[in-house]
Structure 1
Amino acid sequence: MGSQVTRRGFLATLGGVAGVAAATEPADAQQEGQTQRVNMTDSLVFNPDEIFVEPGTTVIWQNVGAVGHSVTAYEDEIPDAAEFFASGGFDEEAAARRGYPDRGDIAGEENYRHTFEVEGTYEYFCIPHESVGMLGTVEVTTDPPAQEGFVSILTNRSRDIAIYLVTGLVAVLAFAWAVLKYGGEYGEEN
């Protein structure tokens, strides 16, 4: 009877460790300070396409797919005192349009960051996907509305690792169950 408790304890511990590993995000994907993340997807959208942040917040645009994207401000759609922003380090919209894709392309798993200091509304777009509606808005305000709905804290890579870990755990548990149930005789030998 004691060996069953040990096996169950082992399996419970194994399940707990796998659960913690699946729920833990890698350190490089954690956010420090005031940051807000926007995913750029293979569906050709910014997700979310509108965010509200406080002044001093850094927005990180993360390409979570394989299709290359850009982040480029509409020069006439940002506050007058605000700094222009574009992946590739361009100083103006026209230069960003001319320079893409030699500069400014954000490949899969890469990101672009910009810190917003001036309050106001910032409209931006993806150069190669502007015509299909890949547009976004950053609203910088000292009183942003509370976020509603589900926001995933896991990157796609972290989610995939969690899925592999849980699948592996299920396989190990199924194998352990089969060995315990059918794997041998536990009675005394004659």
Structure 2
Amino acid sequence: MNRRDFLRTAGGATGAVAAATSTASAQNESGGGSSGGGTTHTVEMTDGLVFDPASIEIAPGDTIEWPNVGSVGHSVTFYDDGIPEGATYFASGGFDSEEAARTGWNNGEGNVAGGESVSHTFETLGTYEYFCIPHEGAGMVAEVVVTENPGSGGGGGGGGEKELHDLGVPIQAHWVGSATILGIIATLVFTFYVLKYGESPNTGNTGGRD
């Protein structure tokens, strides 16, 4: 499975949740909301050989910090062909290309040991694909999407669904659910009554009366 297939699979498995909660629950932030630049987000590197979260949306000027929360060594290495044109290349160990990072790893450089972390600030809009050199084959790849409107379900495509309250509708979800349930119950009761007792006496046929 290549990295793009993996990212599509990971995104599909978590898409519905990620759109609503990845910013709030799968990352730690400092400095408030994610809509403005300057926020720091956390993507953990784990002994499960994953970046958590595997996909994250941030604003230009935001920083990603990758702490190694386990004991197995990892790297954070951008793909040369997986970053936007004009974007600054990044790899743990301070390398300026994917090839240099791979060579450096073989020479014992670029390792982020357990308890250590690295970080990078993203300025250029677009999608950044990256991986862990020793665990790339195990599917330890991920992406960062830098967009003007993180969390809008876009990163460039389509607007995503809006909540009712965002459209100015003064209604809450639990009321909608309650009304729906009551409507179903009323329909069932009416259907049961009609099936058991037939038509109302007021609408029955008048027989031979003139």
- Structure 1 length normalisation: TM-score? 0.60
Q: Which has the higher contact order (CA 8 A, sep 6+)?
A: 1
Establish whether residue 143 from structure 1 lines up as the match of residue 149 from structure 2. Answer: yes
| Residue identity (%) | 55
For 1:123-178, what per-residue CA distance to the aligned partner results, in whole angstroms no more than 9, with x for missing partners? 0000000000000000000101169xxxxxxxxxxxxxxxxxxxxxxxxxxxxxxx
Q: Following superposition, which runs of at least 4 residues in structure 1 exceed 2 angstroms of deviation?
A: 29-33
Establish whether residue 79 from structure 1 lines up as the match of residue 106 from structure 2. Answer: no
Instruction: Find the aligned partners of 2:93 and 2:125 in 1 and give their Cα distance.
Output: 24
- Which runs of 5 or more structure 2 residues have no equivalent in the other structure? 1-27, 32-37, 154-210
Letter in 1 for 2:125: E
Establish whether residue 69 from structure 1 lines up as the match of residue 74 from structure 2. Answer: yes
In the comparison of the two structures, how many residue pairs are matched? 119
CA shift for structure 1 position 30: 7.8
Establish whether residue 36 from structure 1 lines up as the match of residue 7 from structure 2. Answer: no
> 1:56 maps to which residue?
61
Q: Secondary structure at the match of 1:100?
A: helix
Match of 1:129 among 129, 135, 152: 135
CA shift for structure 1 position 31: 3.5
Instruction: Find the aligned partners of 1:69 and 1:48 in 2 and give their Cα distance.
Output: 15
- Structure 2 length normalisation: TM-score? 0.54
CA separation of 1:83 and 1:30: change in aligned 2, threshold 3 A: closer
**Could you say what the CA RMSD is over the residues aligned between the two structures, in angstroms?**
1.7
> 1:47 maps to which residue?
52
For 1:20-44, what per-residue CA distance to the aligned partner results, in whole angstroms no more than 9, with x for missing partners? xxxxxxxxx9845511100000000
Letter in 2 for 1:119: L
CA separation of 1:39 and 1:146: change in aligned 2, threshold 3 A: farther
